[in-house]
Amino acid sequence: MRVAKVIVDVPVRDTDRPFDYLIPESMRAWIEVGSRVGVPFGHRAVQGFVVGLEPEPAAAGMKLKAIQEVLDVIPPLSEELVELAGWMSRRYACRMITALQVMVPTALKGKAERFISLGTPQPKEPEDLYSGGLFELELEPSGGERAILDFVEKKGEVTSKQLSRQFPDSAPVIKSLLRRGVLQENQSIKDKLQIKTLKAVDLAVTPDEAEAALASFAPKAQRQREVLQFIVEMKEMLPLALKDVLATLQVSAATVKGLADKGYITIEDKEAFRDPYRGRWFKPSDPLPLTAEQQNAYDRIVSVLDAQRHGVFLLHGVTGSGKTEIYLQSIQRCIAQGRQAIVLVPEISLTPQMVERFKGRFGDQVAVMHSRLSGGERYDEWRKIREGRAAVAIGARSAVFAPFAKIGLIIMDEEHETSYKQEESPKYHARDVAVQRAMQHGAAVILGSATPSLESYHAARSQANDEFAPMLLEMKARALGNELPGVQIIDMREELKEGNRSMFSRSLHQAVADRLERKEQTVLLLNRRGYSTFVMCRSCGYVAGCPECDISLTYHQKSNNLRCHYCGYAEPAPSVCPECGSEHIRYFGTGTQRVEEELAKLFPGIRVIRMDVDTTTEKGSHEKLLKQFRDKKADVLLGTQMVAKGLDFPDVTLVGVITADSALNLPDFRAAEKTFQLLTQVAGRAGRHQLPGEVMIQSYTPDHYSIIHASGHDYDSFVREELKHRRNLHYPPYCRLILVTLSHEQLPFLVRMAENMVSVLQGKARQKGWYGSLDRLTSDAFDVLGPVASPVPRIKNRYRFQCMIKWRGTIDAVGLVREAAEQLEDTAQNPKLQISIDVDPQMLM
């Protein structure tokens, strides 16, 4: 093969196709489909991926540039992954290079770098070699030149910056050396493998020695004593980040340094990110004898595994039904066949127990793709997979690209979680990619959840979806036979009527007080997805909604009006409730910080651990906070969704949800579904151990079906009701959505473009005979809503407008939208206009 087709890493639309390059003789044995190469592009050296090979240039006599370098010994991608990238590019209307890049670790996203080395000057004419003459004269360096050449020779290669710093006054000399070829400038792709360091604290003596020393501290060294005691207590988590110690104990760096001077501890620069599993021992586990429900599900999965064909399962099992055991035993079967397995979890740092269970069963065969690992470490785990040293990969969304050669099984736990959708380009959904990949490998897919997404559940039930129709496997009982906990709904409107304006109802207040008394623990959940954006009446629970779209209106402070983000409908913000006339109508939402303040006021001295995006940015902070709570260092764990996941503590006997409604009223047609999922998840977490659990859900809309059915652990009834709404209003799963967002610095221009976009879309759809409302009784339909200002109307000084496409059938809607976007870009002739396409969007706000 003499020619390689290369997708180059150049971010303009015209480059979204392969370019042909000659493969130099010396590289032919090295280059395969999937190789990463450095190629000249214009005047630059850029990185690219080989996506095809051909024996000869397409047009004879065409002058092709040659590949400059092969960047890896083992190509980072396989032919299968390159093919998958092509599929993604069509499926999600993204650029091919973006799809390829998302498959390789960040460490391999190289940047071109220029460096200077000693040249091998070529004589102009062959006879110069013999005649000596000019050529030799030029080669003889002067004294000043000598110093520069020695410097370069010693270093091998230097950047021009290094050279100019070393020889600031020699620019003319250096230029002349370069011109004569005595020095040469090269470009190369340098991988980003940077290791971040961080000051870390560790014990310099044994924990026992440190413990013993605590008694001997002078009274004036109390602060140091506290620090040492803390470090001893945290001995399983060592080393600790110095800044965590300072922040937790509110001590000065000098105090900690004093301890180091005394020889009790060390303070050293450590790699900021370490493999949290390195050197850790995992309790080995053997397969459990399955319950009847588990056995039934397992047998169905095994029949597909053993036939080595493609099949998708939706494993719908209540919390605690033992889904993980099925995953484990299915993987075992898959490995025994000499095939590999991928396990996807929503957010790996929130699921340490999951990792433990897989490591416990499969040991070193497990590669963990942890987002909080350093680039270098992630690269190591990835190489373990690529080089065939691992059989199981476990990780979040992007682990779906784990470069295994022969995949037998892909598992997606908590398949309903929105984190499986990537919000930046490529805007892929790991579920779709998993199914596509499994198809290419003849592999099985298990989608597991206690609350499956409506898309998956509907597809399984109706078996009508062309893209995938999973087989439904149901498990209704908990594996250990214990009951799901009782759930109490508290009507917050009643509280207000009785004069209680606090965010805590009297029952929840009393329940927390009881737990403090009994030294049991409480988990309080606050829904992050709810800020002061929607308007609700605190007297009757009325929420302002769009008459057309059945979603709540968003409050816009500037204009003091309410707007629908789907269709653009607007009305002035009411000052009294249109339903009951109450004046207690206002925008709603409450943050974790406010709840924390309120707790401190209501229960002086209460110990609260707050877990939200603000307190968990540090690596390992989830695990640490949860460990502190497990060790009973706090009475209350207060947090957003993330507390619902790590929740498995024997002493937690109360779970309170502050306002169940805060997610219910977001301008998102999935609001009810998200609320139901979250409440079911929290409710299912309580009472997993000896002590019986109690769940309290506070709500201003206690009659809402999502809240009622969640309190009854009744998925089927919820789905039946929710599907009715979705069908009537034409939302997924009864149609599919494409969100097109345009942005530009100038509003009038943007509005014009957004309007053009809609008419181009309509025009093209009309030509194909697709265009029309989804009410029509045709199987193919394509409807465009908008344009309207985006929910976040301006980001970084760029205005944003959007339109929403609803479509169904077997039509190539994505292709048409892409075509329309390209046509608009061409006619707009304005490089600052950005058009983003989100296929099957999950976040609509």
> Where do contacts with Zn ion occur on this chain (CB under 5 A)?
537, 539-540, 542, 546, 548-549, 564, 566-567, 569, 577, 579-580, 582
Output the CA–CA distances (angstroms, integers) from residue 831 to 17, 638, 828, 835, 838, in the order listed.
19, 47, 8, 11, 20
Per-residue mark of binding to ligand ADP, 298-337 (x: CB under 6 A): -------------------x-xxxxxxx------------
* Tokens coding 551: 């979603």
Alpha helices in 536-620 (DSSP H): 592-602
Closest distance to Zn ion from the beta carbon of 541 (Å): 7
Binds 582, which of ligand ADP, Zn ion, none (CB < 5 to 8 A, cut-off by type)?
Answer: Zn ion
- Closest to 100 (Cα-Cα) out of 23, 5, 194: 5
Closest distance to ligand ADP from the beta carbon of 663 (Å): 22
- Closest to 635 (Cα-Cα) out of 516, 513, 511, 509: 516
Binds 549, which of ligand ADP, Zn ion, none (CB < 5 to 8 A, cut-off by type)?
Answer: Zn ion
Tell how strand 652-657 and strand 183-190 pair up. Answer: unpaired
Known binder of ligand: residue 580? yes
Binds 577, which of Zn ion, ligand ADP, none (CB < 5 to 8 A, cut-off by type)?
Answer: Zn ion
Question: For the packed helices 79-91 and 813-828, what is the interaxial angle rounded to 10 degrees?
Answer: 70
Binds 242, which of ligand ADP, Zn ion, none (CB < 5 to 8 A, cut-off by type)?
Answer: none
Query: Which range in 19-27, 54-62, 285-293, 554-562 contacts ligand ADP by CB under 6 A?
Result: 285-293
Encode 143-154: b = buried (16+ Cβ within 10 Å), e = exposed.
eebeebbeebee
Tell how strand 471-475 and strand 311-317 pair up. Answer: parallel
Closest distance to ligand ADP from the beta carbon of 290 (Å): 5
Query: Which range in 290-298, 336-344, 572-580, 695-703 contacts ligand ADP by CB under 6 A?
Result: 290-298
Closest distance to ligand ADP from the beta carbon of 479 (Å): 4
Of the residues 294, 349, 552, 677, which one makes contact with ligand ADP according to CB under 6 A:
294
Closest distance to ligand ADP from the beta carbon of 431 (Å): 18
Eight-class DSSP state of 288: P
Contact 735, 804 (CB under 8 A): no
Given the complex with ligand ADP, which of 244 and 414 has the nearer CB atom?
414
Contact 224, 258 (CB under 8 A): yes
Given the complex with Zn ion, which of 242 and 564 has the nearer CB atom?
564
Binds 193, which of Zn ion, ligand ADP, none (CB < 5 to 8 A, cut-off by type)?
Answer: none
Give yes or no for residue 284 binding ligand ADP (CB under 6 A). no
- How does DSSP assign 756-821, residue by residue? HHHHHHHHHHHHTT-BS-TTSS-S-EEEEEEEEEEEEEEETTEEEEEEEEEEESSS-HHHHHHHHH
Query: Which range in 283-291, 382-390, 708-716, 743-751 contacts ligand ADP by CB under 6 A?
Result: 283-291
Of the residues 89, 291, 677, 842, which one makes contact with ligand ADP according to CB under 6 A:
291
Q: Which of residues 477-496 bind ligand ADP (CB under 6 A)?
A: 479-480
Tell me how many helices (H) and strands (E) the chain has: 27, 32
Given the complex with Zn ion, which of 287 and 581 has the nearer CB atom?
581
Given the complex with Zn ion, which of 99 and 537 has the nearer CB atom?
537
Closest distance to ligand ADP from the beta carbon of 679 (Å): 16
Closest distance to Zn ion from the beta carbon of 580 (Å): 3
Binds 317, which of ligand ADP, Zn ion, none (CB < 5 to 8 A, cut-off by type)?
Answer: ligand ADP
Given the complex with ligand ADP, which of 290 and 469 has the nearer CB atom?
290
Q: Which residue shows structure tokens 């301890």?
A: 259
Binds 151, which of ligand ADP, Zn ion, none (CB < 5 to 8 A, cut-off by type)?
Answer: none
- Closest to 730 (Cα-Cα) out of 661, 654, 783, 664: 783
Given the complex with Zn ion, which of 189 and 758 has the nearer CB atom?
758
Binds 545, which of Zn ion, ligand ADP, none (CB < 5 to 8 A, cut-off by type)?
Answer: none
Contact 520, 652 (CB under 8 A): yes
Of the residues 288, 336, 576, 613, which one makes contact with ligand ADP according to CB under 6 A:
288
Residues near ligand ADP (CB under 6 A), total: 15
Tell how strand 570-572 and strand 561-563 pair up. Answer: antiparallel
Residue 777, C-beta contacts closer than 8 angstroms, at least 6 positions apart: none
Binds 635, which of ligand ADP, Zn ion, none (CB < 5 to 8 A, cut-off by type)?
Answer: none
Given the complex with ligand ADP, which of 49 and 358 has the nearer CB atom?
358
Residue 482, C-beta contacts closer than 8 angstroms, at least 6 positions apart: 320, 687, 688
Given the complex with Zn ion, which of 727 and 832 has the nearer CB atom?
727
- C-alpha 29/C-alpha 694 separation (Å) is 66
Question: Which phi and psi angles does 309 have, rounded to 5°?
Answer: -120, 170
Supply angle C-alpha 12, 16, 20, rounded to 5: 115
Q: What share of the chain is helix, strand, coil (3-state, %, to 5)?
A: 40, 25, 40
Eight-class DSSP state of 484: P
Question: For the packed helices 671-685 and 715-729, what is the interaxial angle rounded to 10 degrees?
Answer: 170
Given the complex with Zn ion, which of 423 and 548 has the nearer CB atom?
548
Eight-class DSSP state of 206: -
Given the complex with ligand ADP, which of 298 and 801 has the nearer CB atom?
298
- Closest to 274 (Cα-Cα) out of 368, 346, 353: 368
Given the complex with Zn ion, which of 298 and 566 has the nearer CB atom?
566
Binds 539, which of Zn ion, ligand ADP, none (CB < 5 to 8 A, cut-off by type)?
Answer: Zn ion
Q: Which residue shows structure tokens 């809609």?
A: 758
Run of H or E including 168:
none
Closest distance to ligand ADP from the beta carbon of 300 (Å): 16
Given the complex with ligand ADP, which of 209 and 648 has the nearer CB atom?
648
Closest distance to Zn ion from the beta carbon of 582 (Å): 4
- Closest to 652 (Cα-Cα) out of 661, 660, 643: 643
Of the residues 238, 290, 580, 747, which one makes contact with ligand ADP according to CB under 6 A:
290
Output the CA–CA distances (angstroms, integers) from residue 453 to 66, 316, 715, in the order listed.
49, 10, 11
Eight-class DSSP state of 551: S
Closest distance to Zn ion from the beta carbon of 539 (Å): 5
Known binder of ligand: residue 803? no
Binds 291, which of ligand ADP, Zn ion, none (CB < 5 to 8 A, cut-off by type)?
Answer: ligand ADP
CA dihedral 699, 702, 708, 713 (to 10 degrees): 20
Supply angle C-alpha 725, 727, 728, rounded to 5: 65
Known binder of ligand: residue 564? yes
Closest distance to Zn ion from the beta carbon of 58 (Å): 51
Closest distance to Zn ion from the beta carbon of 536 (Å): 9
Closest distance to ligand ADP from the beta carbon of 317 (Å): 5
Closest distance to ligand ADP from the beta carbon of 415 (Å): 12
Q: Which residue is nearest to ligand ADP (CB)?
A: 322
Binds 667, which of ligand ADP, Zn ion, none (CB < 5 to 8 A, cut-off by type)?
Answer: none
Tell how strand 652-657 and strand 521-525 pair up. Answer: parallel
Binds 320, which of ligand ADP, Zn ion, none (CB < 5 to 8 A, cut-off by type)?
Answer: ligand ADP
Binds 569, which of Zn ion, ligand ADP, none (CB < 5 to 8 A, cut-off by type)?
Answer: Zn ion
Given the complex with ligand ADP, which of 21 and 298 has the nearer CB atom?
298
Known binder of ligand: residue 735? no
- Closest to 285 (Cα-Cα) out of 323, 328, 336: 328
Residue ranges in contact with ligand ADP by CB under 6 A? 288-291, 294, 317, 319-325, 479-480
Known binding-site residues for Zn(2+) equal 537, 540, 546, 549, 564, 567, 577, 580
Known binding-site residues equal 537, 540, 546, 549, 564, 567, 577, 580
